[in-house]
């Protein structure tokens, strides 16, 4: 698997080299193309050659020039020291010129004690001997011992709140008009479909009732601590998608006892941190609590108190995001020269997919830190 790095020299990140069978192009999200994969260090391979299939991935991001890929290895493998598995995602972060927003938010979730958050590593990707730039190699969200730790059964669910633009998978629309997609089981039988759909509709009926003003009643439906943590990760980043799509939820029915609904794992923050043309993307004002299930939960003053106390108790973890931006941006600085040589978008400020123009990578990082600092200050003053 040759690697010609004369135009895009080694920049301190692992190089991921993939070649498809007969150099077949990957131009859709359905066709699984056979391929081989190998990691390279500075001057030589750093892994064995692995067999896999690869296809496109993403919703709106798949329509971009630099899009993402879903890969499935023939055998489980520990990619760059992460727990071994077959399924991985290559996220392009094309809209996010810092390339950091997903990474730093996943780290924040881990610091805050999330049961599972996606492990990830930055790589430079070569596909069919073409340099494609910096990608985030990240664990594909799935049910397994090392990832989302719920049982695999007809009454145990990982599902995703999504949007009408999602076209793959088994979906249903709830009583409040929200679209949900089954992730586990991926192809549910009729009993499973009815079980989850009825439970979500019953929960939404509860949210619309007067009972929502009783915190103990809320606790019978949801894991309150888990919901509050997830809320703050979305609200702190002011993630425009944080109430619309890429929202994973788990629920298990154990005999006659319903386990509480849990939020997560966190996913998809390229439209957070002010990186959206949406008028609601500035560092001021509340966002997430005005939408979805949160707009009902926040009617409860005791729930509001739990949310307020969580910020005060865990504020230091959110502030530490600024350190994450500093440390990781330094690791990407050299490779960013390759990235923006391949994709010269720093000066592009069109509405979609780009918002703001910059002269260099450090300006991007400064803007991200500035927004984050202002966000923390606004929350402090309005909590």
**pTM for this entry:** 0.96
With 0-12 / 13-18 / 19 or more C-beta atoms within 10 angstroms meaning exposed / middle / buried, residue 140 is: middle
Peptide bond into 101 cis (omega under 30): no
Distance CA 41, CA 226 (A): 39
Please, are residues 314 and 113 in contact by the beta-carbon 8 Å criterion?
no
Count H helices, E strands: the chain? 8, 13
Nearest Cα to Cα of residue 325 among 373, 380, 359: 373
DSSP-derived pairing of the beta strands 50-57 and 68-77: antiparallel
- DSSP reduced 3-state for 100: coil
178, 183, 253, 259, 304 from 173: Cα distances, Å: 5, 15, 20, 22, 28
* Overall average pLDDT of the 197-219 stretch: 95
- The predicted-structure confidence for 3-14, as pLDDT tens digits, reads as follows 888 999 999 999
Please tell me which residue, 141 or 1, carries the higher pLDDT value: 141
Nearest to 243 by CA among 220, 221, 268: 268
d(CA 106, CA 248): 14
* Residues 176-185 pLDDT 10s: 999 999 999 9
Average pLDDT, the chain: 95
∠ CA 138-366-91, nearest 5°, is: 15
What local confidence, expressed as pLDDT, does residue 280 receive? 84
Per-residue pLDDT, 58: 75
365: its two tokens: 């990082």
Q: Between the CA atoms of 78, 83, 88 and 91, what dihedral angle is there, to the nearest 10 degrees?
A: -100
Summarize pLDDT for 72-122 with one digit per residue, the tens. 999 999 999 999 999 999 999 999 999 999 999 999 999 999 999 999 999
Domain boundaries, the chain: 15-139
Q: With 90 as the cut, is the pLDDT of residue 277 above it?
A: no
Given a contact cutoff of 8 angstroms between Cβ atoms, the answer to whether 347 and 357 are in contact is yes
């Amino acid at each position: 698997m040759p690697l010609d790095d004369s135009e895009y020299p080694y920049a301190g990140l692992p190089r991921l080299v993939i070649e498809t069978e007969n150099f077949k192009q990957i131009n859709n999200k359905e066709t699984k193309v056979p391929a081989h994969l190998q990691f390279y260090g500075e001057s030589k391979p750093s892994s064995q050659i692995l067999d896999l299939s690869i296809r496109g991935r993403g919703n709106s991001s798949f329509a971009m020039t630099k899009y993402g890929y879903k890969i499935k290895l023939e055998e489980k493998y520990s990619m760059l020291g992460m727990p071994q598995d077959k399924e991985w995602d290559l996220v392009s972060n094309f809209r996010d010129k810092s390339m950091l927003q997903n990474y730093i938010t996943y780290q924040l979730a881990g610091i805050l004690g999330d049961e599972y958050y996606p492990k990830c590593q930055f790589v430079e990707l070569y596909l069919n001997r073409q340099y494609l730039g910096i990608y985030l190699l990240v664990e594909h969200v799935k049910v397994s011992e090392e990832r989302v730790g719920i049982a695999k059964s007809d009454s145990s669910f990982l599902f995703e709140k999504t949007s009408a633009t999602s076209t793959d998978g088994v979906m249903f629309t709830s009583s409040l008009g929200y679209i949900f997609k089954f992730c586990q089981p991926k192809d549910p039988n009729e009993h499973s479909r009815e079980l989850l759909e009825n439970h979500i509709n019953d929960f939404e009926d509860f949210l619309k009732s007067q009972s929502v003003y009783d915190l103990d009643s809320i606790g019978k439906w949801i894991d309150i601590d888990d919901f509050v943590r997830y809320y703050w990760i979305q609200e702190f980043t002011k993630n425009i998608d944080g109430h619309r799509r890429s929202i994973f939820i788990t629920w298990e029915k154990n005999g006659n006892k319903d386990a509480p609904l849990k939020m997560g794992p966190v996913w998809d923050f390229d439209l957070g941190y002010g990186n959206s043309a949406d008028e609601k993307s500035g560092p001021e004002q509340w966002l997430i609590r005005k939408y979805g299930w949160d707009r009902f939960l926040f009617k409860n003053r005791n729930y509001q108190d739990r949310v307020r106390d969580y910020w005060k108790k865990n504020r230091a973890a959110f502030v530490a995001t600024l350190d994450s931006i500093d440390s990781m941006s330094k690791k990407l600085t050299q490779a960013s020269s390759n990235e923006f040589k391949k994709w010269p978008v720093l000066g592009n400020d069109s509405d979609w997919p780009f918002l703001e123009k910059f002269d260099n990578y450090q300006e991007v990082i400064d803007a991200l830190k500035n927004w984050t600092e202002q966000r923390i200050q606004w929350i402090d003053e309005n909590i």
